[in-house]
Amino acid sequence: MLPEKESWEKIRSELGIKNSDHVVIYDNSDVISSCRVWYTFLYFNHDPNLVSVLDGGLKKWLKEKKQIVKDIKLFKKSLYLANENKSLVLNKEQVNANIENKSFELVDARGRERFLGVQPEARKELKSGNIKNSKNMPFTELVNTNDHTFKKKDELISIFKKNKIDPNKKIAFTCGSGITACVLGLTNSIISGRKPVVYDGSWAEYGIK
């Protein structure tokens, strides 16, 4: 899922984004894909205090009748520089090793039925089920259904606790393809202040038959 460092620098530079900019990310997606962009900025070492996700996204913005425009504003090209923080991403070998050494908790953001293998995967090349010893916390539990905003910090803590996940322990996140794992990553960051660690291949890699 992660782009090459040079590609990330080129795209940010062409958009006119500078390393010193405060970047606010929004989307129009039910899976809150803006969290994936947030995570990618952190992976490439943008100041975490200068990366935010718009709570509720474009849908909430439109519902509140806030200002929008139809033109695309062009910004002067910048020279964005990135550094990879490889400690924020896991590969399949590290996930397999963790099954034995239990050095971190792996938490899956998919729905319960997909996690339990009751609901088949949409992609035919993937088997049903989950990674051994992983825990399940569907990302939808962390979001308010009426406006797609994140639940309050104390509610998030309660949901982590209900799912027997300690946000202060070493945790990594996974899902179907590396997107909703970042929703869990953001909520964990809200609680603990730590950057998220993601198994980037997720079930799209691990669940291949």
User: pLDDT tens track of the chain, all 209 residues?
Assistant: 899 999 999 999 999 999 999 999 999 999 999 999 999 999 999 999 999 999 999 999 999 999 999 999 999 999 999 999 999 999 999 999 999 999 999 999 999 999 999 999 988 999 999 999 999 999 999 999 999 999 999 999 999 999 999 988 999 999 999 999 999 999 999 999 999 999 999 999 999 99
- The answer to whether residue 17 is domain-embedded is no
- Domain membership of residue 99 (yes or no) is yes
CATH number for the domain harbouring residue 187: 3.40.250.10
Q: Is residue 146 part of a domain?
A: yes
In a domain, 35, yes or no: no
Nearest-angstrom CA–CA distance, 181 and 118: 20
Using CA atoms, how far apart are residues 173 and 131, in angstroms rounded to an integer?
A: 11
The Cα 196–Cα 33 span in angstroms is 15
Instruction: Evaluate whether residue 113 is within a structural domain.
Output: yes
Residue 59 within any structural domain of the chain: no
The total of structural domains in the chain comes to 1
Question: Does 10 map to a domain?
Answer: no
139 part of a folded domain? yes
35 catalytic, yes or no? no
Catalytic residue among 142, 175, 182, 197: 175
pLDDT tens by residue, 60-95: 999 999 999 999 999 999 999 999 999 999 999 999
Question: Could you tell me the residue range of the domain that residue 190 belongs to?
Answer: 86-206
